Amino acid sequence: MWRPFFFDNMDYSELTFVCVGGEEWQQDLFINDLAALGFDTFEDTPSGFKAYIASASLDLAAIEHLLLTLPENFQVSYSVQEISPKNWNAVWESNFEPITVDKRCYVRATFHAPKPDFEYEIIIDPKMAFGTGHHQTTSLMMEYLLDSHVAGKRVLDMGCGTGILAILAAKIGAEEVVAIDYDPVCYESVKENIELNQVPAIKIYCGSKEVIPQEPYDLILANINRNILLDQLPTYSAVLKPHGQLLLSGFYEGDDLRQLEEAAIKLNLKFLEKKVKDHWVAAKFEQNHKRK
């Protein structure tokens, strides 16, 4: 898996992780934890993966702590080396392939040929930010969106990345879409991708839950991670219309989903269903209480 970054003049460290035993989902979870520590690019290898981080942000003590929390059946070792600056744009583009979702939506980069036979086409400039539909959580959310009644509705996309979900919502008829991400790189990416896809109905904000316009939403999308979702659930509930729907992803089946369900119940958010792909989950909730 990859997350592109493009600060070419920054000193980076390359950590090579060798994984023995365990399941694929356990490696994915470990990578997710590394991303929370500041790693922004990952590359699969035959024996595990490589991970890249700005050298100034490298915290070996935090990595050692993560290793201590791994299950006994999943053993990981690693080595570290400083690397010369890379052209991360070129690395990412060389590994980016177009995808299709539910045989209805075609996601491509600017350097791929269009396919007008698809019902929807989304153009994503991959050199700018995370979120191109390749990850299981993004494709699960897109599948849910394609099956949702979005026409004429107001949609909020939290942690929007490249804006792929917001763009799809606009293309399938949302009246207004608010897209929010705390990362300035993502903010600039969404602005570019809005123009590429000609979807002016999207309003983009840089920040977190504090910048959400306090207006009622019919549908809220949040593909982030469990801890952030738990923190932001009360805010989502406060701006979600009665019987409005909330689509969450970015977490695993099992304890992650259980914690989110328990938190949702306290906010009168009813769990409706879930989709699972390689242990990753997208879950649908509905607002049960009336707005004050």
138 annotated as a binding-site residue: yes
Long-range pairs for 233-237: beta carbons < 8 A, 24 or more residues apart: 233/260, 233/263, 233/264, 233/267, 233/269, 234/267, 235/209, 236/156, 236/158, 237/267, 237/268, 237/269, 237/287
DSSP letter at 289 equals S
Which helix (H) or strand (E) is 84 found in, with range? none
Using alpha carbons, select from 209, 226, 225, 158 the residue that is nearest to residue 186: 158
254 annotated as a binding-site residue: no
Radius of gyration of the chain (CA): 19
Q: Are 17 and 92 in contact (CB under 8 A)?
A: no
Report helix, strand and coil shares of the chain as percent, to nearest 5: 35, 35, 35
Please report, as a single letter, which amino acid is at residue 151.
Answer: A
181 annotated as a binding-site residue: yes
Using alpha carbons, select from 270, 285, 264, 276 the residue that is nearest to residue 221: 285
22 annotated as a binding-site residue: no
Sheet containing 120-123: order of strands: 99-101, 105-108, 120-123
Question: What is the distance between the terminal CA atoms of the chain, rounded to a whole angstrom?
Answer: 43
Residues annotated within the binding site are 138, 159, 181, 223
Residues annotated within the binding site for S-adenosyl-L-methionine are 138, 159, 181, 223
